[in-house]
């Protein structure tokens, strides 16, 4: 294959250590070990795809076996060894793909082959790519040879899944973790390649390639190759055209979408999303990108354009900074939780696009217009309190509340959770001056009956023992059947009904009998009294097995019958 017909990832593959980018520390360590002749028996290179694991393995093999020596290693006119290693056909440098040769028999053949010294090179080198694919038995077979190989034998392993490799193997290797390539360094590299190939691609399009490649040199070169061959004429490839080539959704549009959501504009939000969907964006990709933008909205004050990894340009960065300054950070965190939840629900619904639209509608109903800009609220110049503060007083009845002011006319500035949504209209109505009077325990039970709160009524009658009832304070004891959320629920309802804070305390005193137990006690007393009457004795003579369970009185005198 001629050099011109090669894909860019192969054409510009580094051939010496100096050509590598982004791995300076690793390169320096390897060069020093070769110069001082303190090379390891085995090397292990790990990192994401396309950062140079196999490339470094080949360069290391050439550095050890070059006929000119490491100090004069071949760079252009390659010696026989360097050329053969580059073309992967050297007799003493065996490259093996562990994904296709995973068994113990393959490793036994390799070990058997290692017993013979090198034919034409100084070292016999085994390069095993994706080594984590080897079976457990294969790793075990490799252990002894790996720990004490002959002087002429070197192992070089490469993997993307370091956690799948046994610790016993890792401990016998000199491990190097290859990092993702820095965005700026990768941009400069592919710009040089683009200029050499006369690609005529804009800087913004190159930054898009860097962003999509996620720090992988091979991925960035493959994308650059695709962009170059797509061009029909000598026109420059713009960012918009590059997005069409790669089928890439412009995440910066999510800034405008989030702005629409915080403005509470449902129609425009859904229309805007549908335009995005028509571009072919995958729902999961959309949600993951949505999470990324939320991250920027929350943490933009701690970031700058340089460390955003080309995810944002100057305009987008400044726009997020402007909008986020007037947003409540707690609401952004709630958006994050809703997005994560929607991601887990996507596979449940057959049409994932519907899930996304409903997700956006839920966010629209969560947010209030007052979040988006302080200028919208300056005309009122009113400090709005949130419904969350009201519910906090319900959740924590023991804490003192002072200066609780509620704007009855203006909207309540809030992100509402599920429990708040259920009662928000009732709560707002109860902010009026109209209050319900509850002056006794019986009034409380009666109020539960009027408001159709049957569960609370049942708990009050059956499982609660009243110790003391006084002004806005109820002291009770209870049995083990009391509902877990009773205190929280009754406190919330009391606040709704009276617009005042009530304190429910638990007492060590036994208290009065519950209404249910008291009724049972009265019935038992009546039954015992009736059992001594002549009528009961006569009934028992006629029906010995009869049992008296209850007594219902009428206007007739039973003793006279």
Structure confidence by residue, pLDDT tens digits, 316-371: 777 888 887 777 777 788 888 889 988 888 888 888 888 899 989 888 887 754 44
CA distance 382 to 378: 8
pLDDT bucket at 176, cuts 50 / 70 / 90: very high
**Is pLDDT larger for residue 469 or for residue 157?**
157
The predicted structure's pLDDT at residue 379? 36
What separation in angstroms does the CA of 449 have from each of 205, 379, 442?
Answer: 68, 45, 11
pLDDT(396) > 70: no
| More reliable by pLDDT, 261 or 390 | 261
C-alpha triplet 344, 347, 350: angle, nearest 5°: 140
At 308 the pLDDT is 53
Q: Measure the CA dihedral 94/97/102/103, to 10°.
A: -30
Residue 97 in this model has a pLDDT that exceeds 70: yes
Each residue's pLDDT tens digit, 227-263: 888 877 777 888 888 887 887 767 678 888 888 888 8
In angstroms, rounded to a whole number, what is the distance separating the alpha carbons of residues 135 and 477?
Answer: 64
Within 8 A by CB and 6+ apart from 288, the residues are: 343
**Distance, CA of 6 to CA of 221 (rounded, Å):** 12
Residue 312 is predicted with a pLDDT of 63
Dist. CA 224–CA 226, nearest whole Å: 5
Contact in structure between 495 and 501 (CB atoms under 8 Å)? yes
| Angle at alpha carbon of residue 246, lines to 243 and 250, rounded to 5° | 35
Residues 379-390: what's their mean pLDDT? 38
Strand order from edge to edge, sheet including 93-97: 93-97, 124-129, 153-159, 42-46, 174-177
The whole-number average pLDDT for the span 472-491 is 83
Q: How confident is the model at residue 425 (pLDDT cuts 50, 70, 90)?
A: very low
Structure tokens that stand for 424 in this block: 């928000």
Cβ count within 10 A of residue 349 = 13
Q: Which of 33-47, 264-278, 504-518 has the least mean pLDDT?
A: 504-518
Q: Are strands 464-470 and 473-478 parallel, antiparallel or unpaired?
A: antiparallel
Whether residue 414 contacts residue 386, with contact meaning beta carbons closer than 8 Å, is answered with yes
Which of 1.20.1300.10, 3.90.1310.10, 3.10.105.10, 1.20.272.10 would CATH assign to domain 253-375? 1.20.272.10
The encoded tokens of residue 231 equal 């061009």
Composition of the chain by helix, strand, coil, percent to 5: 55, 10, 40
Q: Tally Cβ neighbours within 10 Å of residue 350.
A: 7
Retrieve residue 523's tokens. Answer: 């019935």
For the segment 399-420, the average pLDDT, to the nearest whole number, is 42
Residue pair 249/276 in contact (Cβ under 8 Å)? The answer is yes
Higher-confidence position of 296 and 382: 296
Q: Which two tokens stand for residue 220?
A: 């960035």
Which tokens sit at 441?
């325990």
Going by pLDDT thresholds of 50, 70 and 90, the confidence category of residue 553 is low
Which helix (H) or strand (E) element contains residue 52?
none
Q: What is the average per-residue pLDDT within 385-414? A: 41
pLDDT confidence bin for 402, thresholds 50/70/90: very low
More confident residue, 555 or 91: 91
Confidence at residue 313, expressed as pLDDT on a 0 to 100 scale = 63
CA atoms within 13 A on the CB side of 60: 32
DSSP 3-state of 240: helix
Average pLDDT score over residue span 175-201? 90
The residue to which tokens 């003793």 are assigned: 559
Give the integer Cα–Cα distance in Å for 86 and 66.
11
Q: Give the single-character DSSP code of 300.
A: G
pLDDT band at 461 (very low <50, low <70, confident <90, very high): confident
DSSP per-residue string spanning 128-168: EETGGGS-HHHHHHHHHHHHS--TTEEEEEEES-GGGS-HH
Domain with CATH 1.20.272.10 in the chain: 253-375
Cβ 293 vs Cβ 251: under 8 Å: yes
183-246 CATH pick, 1.20.1250, 1.10.8, 3.40.50, 1.20.120: 1.10.8
Highest mean pLDDT among 231-245, 283-297, 362-376, 378-392: 283-297
CATH number at 8-177: 3.40.50.300
DSSP result, 374-392: THHHHTTT--PPPHHHHHH
Task: Give me the sign of the Cα torsion angle 335, 338, 344, 349.
Answer: negative
At 306, the pLDDT band (50, 70, 90 cuts) reads low
In three-state secondary structure terms, 560 is helix
Binning pLDDT at 50, 70 and 90, where does residue 2 land?
low
* Main-chain phi, psi angles of 476, to 5 degrees: -140, 160
Q: Which residue has the higher pLDDT, 460 or 549?
A: 460
Specify the domain boundaries for CATH 3.40.50.300 within the chain: 8-177
For residue 501, the surrounding DSSP H or E stretch is none
DSSP 468-484: EEETTEEEEEE-TTS-T
Which has more confidence, 331 or 1? Answer: 331
pLDDT of 165 reads 92
pLDDT at 522: 82
b/e map 75-93, b = 16+ CB within 10 Å: eeebbebbebbbeeebebb
Tell me what the pLDDT averaged over the chain comes to: 79
CB-based burial label for 210 (10 Å; 0-12, 13-18, 19+): buried
Q: What are phi and psi of 129, to 5 degrees?
A: -90, 150
Rounded CA-CA distance 254/320 in Å is: 10
What 3-state class would DSSP assign to 485? coil
Neighbouring residues of 556: CB distance < 8 A, sequence distance ≥ 6: none
In the chain, CATH 1.10.8 sits at 183-246
Determine the straight-line distance between the first and last CA of the chain, rounded to whole angstroms.
Answer: 120
Q: Are 182 and 23 a contacting pair, CB within 8 Å?
A: no
């Amino acid at each position: 294959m001629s050099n011109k017909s090669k894909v860019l990832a192969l054409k510009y593959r580094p051939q010496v250590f100096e050509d590598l980018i982004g791995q300076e520390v690793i390169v320096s360590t390897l060069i020093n070990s070769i110069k001082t002749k303190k090379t390891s028996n085995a090397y292990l290179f790990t990192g994401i795809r396309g950062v140079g694991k196999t490339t470094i393995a080949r360069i290391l093999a050439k550095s050890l076996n070059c006929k000119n020596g490491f100090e004069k290693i071949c760079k252009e006119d390659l010696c026989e060894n360097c050329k053969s290693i580059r073309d992967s056909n050297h007799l003493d440098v065996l490259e093996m793909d562990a994904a296709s040769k995973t068994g113990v028999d393959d490793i036994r053949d390799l070990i058997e082959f290692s017993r013979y010294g090198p034919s034409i090179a100084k070292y016999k080198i085994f390069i095993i790519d994706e080594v984590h694919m080897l079976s457990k038995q294969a790793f075990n077979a490799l252990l002894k040879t790996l720990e004490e190989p002959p002087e002429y034998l070197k192992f070089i392993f490469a993997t993307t899944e370091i956690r799948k490799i046994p610790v016993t193997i890792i401990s016998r290797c000199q491990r190097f973790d290859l990092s993702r390539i820095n965005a700026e360094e990768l941009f400069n590299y592919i710009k040089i390649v683009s200029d050499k190939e006369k690609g005529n691609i804009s800087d913004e399009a190159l930054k898009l390639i860097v962003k999509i490649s996620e720090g992988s040199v091979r991925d960035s070169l493959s994308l650059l190759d695709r962009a170059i061959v797509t061009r029909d004429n000598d026109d420059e490839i713009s960012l918009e055209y590059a997005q069409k080539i790669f089928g890439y959704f412009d995440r910066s549009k999510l800034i405008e979408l989030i702005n629409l959501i915080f403005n509470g504009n449902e129609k425009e939000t859904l229309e805007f999303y549908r335009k995005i969907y028509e571009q072919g964006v995958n729902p999961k990709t959309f949600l993951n990108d949505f999470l990324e933008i939320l991250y920027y909205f929350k943490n933009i004050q701690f970031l700058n354009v340089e460390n955003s990894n080309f995810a944002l340009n100057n305009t987008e960065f400044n726009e997020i900074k402007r909008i986020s300054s007037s947003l409540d950070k707690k609401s952004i965190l709630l958006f994050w939780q809703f997005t994560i939840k929607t991601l887990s629900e996507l596979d449940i619904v057959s049409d994932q696009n519907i899930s996304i639209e409903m997700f956006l509608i839920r966010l629209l109903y969560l947010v209030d217009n007052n979040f988006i800009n302080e200028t919208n609220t300056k005309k009122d110049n009113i400090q709005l309190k949130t419904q969350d503060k009201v519910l906090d007083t319900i959740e924590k009845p023991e804490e003192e509340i002072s200066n609780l002011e509620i704007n009855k006319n203006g909207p309540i500035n809030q992100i509402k959770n599920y429990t708040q949504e259920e009662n928000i209209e009732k709560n707002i109505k109860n902010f009026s001056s109209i209050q319900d009077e509850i002056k006794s325990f019986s009034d409380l039970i009666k109020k539960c009956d009027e408001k159709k709160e049957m569960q609370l009524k049942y708990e009050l009658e059956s499982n609660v023992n009243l110790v003391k009832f006084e002004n806005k304070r109820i002291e009770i004891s209870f049995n083990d059947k009391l509902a877990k959320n009773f205190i929280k629920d009754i406190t919330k309802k009391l606040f709704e009904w009276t617009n005042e804070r009530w304190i429910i305390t638990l007492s060590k005193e036994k208290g009065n009998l519950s209404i249910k137990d008291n009724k049972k006690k009265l019935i038992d007393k009546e039954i015992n009294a009736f059992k001594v009457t002549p009528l009961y004795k006569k009934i028992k003579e006629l029906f010995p097995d009869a049992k008296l369970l209850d007594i219902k009185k009428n206007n007739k005198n039973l003793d006279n019958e």
